[in-house]
Amino acid sequence: MINIVVVSHSAQLARGVEELARQMMRGDGCKLVLAAGVDDAEHPIGTDAIKVMEAIESVADGAGILVLMDLGSALLSAETALDLLDPQLAAKVRLCSAPLVEGTLAAVVAANSGAGLEQVLAEAQGALLAKQVQLGEAAPAVKSVELPLTHGKSVSWTVQNPHGLHARPAARLAETLAPFDTELVLEKQGQCANPRSLNQLALLQVRHGDTVRLIADGPQAEQALAAFRTLAEQHFGETVSEQQLPSLHGIPVAESVTSGPVLQALSFWPTVTERPIGADDVLTEQQRLREALQHTLGDLGRLAERTGTLIGKPQAAIFGAHSMLLDDPDLQQAAYTRIAQQQCSAEQAWRQEMEVIIEDYRALDDEYMRARELDVRDMLRRTLSHLQQQPLLPITLTAPSILVMDELMPSDVVMLDRRLVLGICLSGGNALSHSAILAKAMGIPMVVGMNDCMSKTRSGQKAMLDAARGVLQLSH
C-alpha cells in the first residue's frame, strides 16, 4: 500500500483536495492524510514541519509514502520533517513536485489500484500533461503501448456519459481493471492508452458518443473484458439520463427525409476455422477452392443480371468488374501455390491473397479507389461462404423500416426489397463505396459513418432519417 500526504498552506484548500480525491477512492487501497495550515486563529495560513512529520508517521504502515506540497515553504517544511523522521521511515518517503490538485488525484487513483511507489510518483508527475495537450501546449500523441491491436480479445463500447470519461468515471475504470493479470489497451480511433492510468485515460480525451475498445491479452483477459462491460453498462459509476435521446449524425449519401421503425441487422461473415493440412490434401484443397470460385463467379453473374434489370447496366458493371478480378488466372494460381507451399487450407490461402489486395486498396491516395476495398471483402466473404457451405442469406424486412447496420456489402444492397427499406444508416461505410452508389441509384436514403447508431438504437424504435443532413432523430 502506498499512502499519500497532502501539505498545504491552507487547511481549507487541503480539505477541498481531499474531498476531490476521495471521490476517486472506492476502496482501502491507500490512506490520504493532511498536514495543512498552522494553529494560529489570526494567521492560519502556513505550514508546520511537526505537523508534516506527524502526518507521515500516521501512515507509516504503508510500503511507501508520497508527499505532495503546494508552495515553496511547504517544500521546506516537508524537507525538515524528513530530517526529523526515523531514518528507516524517511527512506520510504518521496517528495513530489507535481501540482497539488492534479497530482494528488492521479496519485490516489494509482495508489488505490495497487501501484508501487515509483509508479504512483510517475502518475502524479504526469498529471498536467492532459491539460497541456488540450490547451495546445504539448504534443497531442498518446504514449504508445506495447500490446499490438491485432493481439488479444476485445470489447467495444460507445460512451454515453454526458461529459465522457472525465476524472471520476476514468478513476472507476482504472480501479476496476487494476486487479487483473492481463495486458490491457484502451483504443479510440487508433490512439491507445493504458486504461489503468488516469493520466493516459485523460490523454485519450474520450467524449460523449466516442467509441472505445478495450483489448486484453493474458490469463485473465476474459475476466477483465467482462468487468469492463459490466462497468460500461453502469456508465462507469455515473447516472445517465435517457429523458432526451440523442440525434445521431453521419455523412449523407442521398438527400431525403423519411420516418419509420428501426430494424437493426448485423453483417454476416462465415465462421472459418483454420486447420493445417497434409501433403496428401493439397490437391483436394485446390479443387475445393476452384469449385468455390466457380460458384462465386456464378453468383456475381446473377447479381449483375439482377442489378441490370432493377437499376441499369452501368450499375450492373460493378459486379462485372468483380468477376474480372476474381477470374484473374494469376490471382487464382497464387492461391493454389500458397496451398501447396504452406500446406494450408483453401480458406486460409484465399483469405491471405485477398487481404493483400485489400491492403493495397487501403493504401491508395485516391479516396474513390480506397473505397474499393469493400468490393474485395465482399468477394472474399462470398467465396468463404461457399467453402464453408454457409449460404449468404438476404437481409429480410417484414415491414417498412430504417435499416441500421455496422456495414453493408454491395451484393447485400442489390438484394434488398426496395419497397421495405425506408433508409439505411451505417456505423461505418464510405460515401464513395459501391454500396453507397447502388443505394443512391435505388433511391434509398443512406447515411454512413454514424459511429454510434448500433449502440444507441434498437429494433422497433421510431426514428426520422434526414439523409440530407446526415441526421437520425430518435424517439422513445
Whole-angstrom Cα distance, residue 301 to residue 168?
Answer: 57
Give the N- to C-terminal CA distance of the chain in Å, as an integer: 48
Evaluate whether 371 touches 433 at the Cβ level (below 8 Å).
Answer: yes
pLDDT-derived band of residue 4, with 50, 70 and 90 as boundaries? very high
Shared domain for 7 and 121, answered yes or no, is yes
Query: Which of 128, 133, 132, 82 has its CA nearest to residue 105?
Result: 128
What does pLDDT average to over the chain? 87
Shared domain for 383 and 398, answered yes or no, is no
Shared domain for 467 and 352, answered yes or no, is no
Q: Confirm whether 9 is a catalytic residue.
A: yes
3-state helix, strand, coil in the chain (%, to 5): 45, 15, 40
Model pLDDT, residue 367: 86
Evaluate whether 39 touches 64 at the Cβ level (below 8 Å).
Answer: no
Is residue 170, in this structure, part of any structural domain at all?
yes
Shared domain for 129 and 67, answered yes or no, is yes
Shared domain for 97 and 167, answered yes or no, is no
Q: Confirm whether 434 is a catalytic residue.
A: yes
Shared domain for 107 and 50, answered yes or no, is yes
Instruction: Say if residue 64 is exposed, middle or buried (CB neighbours under 10 Å; 0-12, 13-18, 19+).
Output: buried
Model pLDDT, residue 151: 60
Q: Looking at the 3D structure of the chain, how many domains does it have?
A: 4
Residue carrying C-alpha cell 493520466? 199
Choosing from 151, 295, 434, 476, the catalytic residue is 434
Shared domain for 22 and 97, answered yes or no, is yes
Q: Which whole number is the average pLDDT over 236-254?
A: 64
Q: When comparing pLDDT for 475 and 443, which is higher? A: 443
DSSP string over 103-170:
HHHHHHHHHHTT--HHHHHHHHHTTTHHHHHHTTSS--PPPP-SS-TTSSEEEEEE---TT-S-HHHH
Choosing from 166, 235, 249, 295, the catalytic residue is 166
Shared domain for 20 and 103, answered yes or no, is yes
Evaluate whether 252 touches 447 at the Cβ level (below 8 Å).
Answer: yes
Give the CATH number, domain containing residue 290.
1.10.274.10
**Beta-carbon contacts of residue 323 (< 8 Å; ≥ 6 apart):** 297, 300, 301, 304
Shared domain for 163 and 230, answered yes or no, is yes
Side-by-side strand order, sheet with 183-188: 153-158, 211-217, 183-188, 191-193
Shared domain for 11 and 127, answered yes or no, is yes
Is residue 282 pLDDT above 70, yes or no? yes
Model pLDDT, residue 247: 62
Question: pLDDT tens across 35-81, in order?
Answer: 898 888 888 899 889 999 999 999 999 899 999 998 888 899 999 99
Shared domain for 399 and 256, answered yes or no, is yes
Backbone phi, psi, residue 39, to 5°:
-85, 70
341's enclosing H/E stretch is helix 329-342
Domain that holds residue 55: 2-135
Shared domain for 406 and 341, answered yes or no, is no
pLDDT-derived band of residue 290, with 50, 70 and 90 as boundaries? very high
Question: The whole model's pTM is what?
Answer: 0.50
Alpha helices in 143-279 (DSSP H): 167-177, 198-204, 221-233
Model pLDDT, residue 147: 47
